[in-house]
Amino acid sequence: MASITIHPHAKIRMQERGATKREVTAAVREGEQFRAKFGRVGFRMNFPARGNRMYQTKQVEAYGVKEDKALVIITVIVKYF
């Protein structure tokens, strides 16, 4: 994938949910890829939940759409366990 663009909506969700740009980029480039609803593509990767006393793992899911040779991330979900 040539380039990754993060939509402003996704940037807001990243901030609200505790994901960093580095984590989202790593999930897209190195994580598990899966099909999502409405022709979108999802990416998922687990990270250590640093600074969180209740949970050990933070899972970052990024959902995007492919446009030409780029991927536009439209939302990000973070799960802790």
Q: Would you say residue 2 has pLDDT above 80?
A: no
Ordered by where they begin, the domains of the chain are 3-80 (3.30.2310)
pLDDT, one tens digit per residue, over 41-61 is: 999 999 998 877 889 999 999
How many Cα atoms are found within 13 Å in the side-chain-facing hemisphere of 60?
28
Q: How does residue 68 score in pLDDT terms, banded at 50, 70 and 90?
A: confident
Answer whether 64's CB lies under 8 Å from 55's CB: no
- CA torsion 71→25→78→44, rounded to 10°? 70
What is the rounded average pLDDT for all residues in the chain? 94
Which residues are 46's β-sheet partners?
A: 59
**Confidence check: pLDDT of 1 > 70:** no
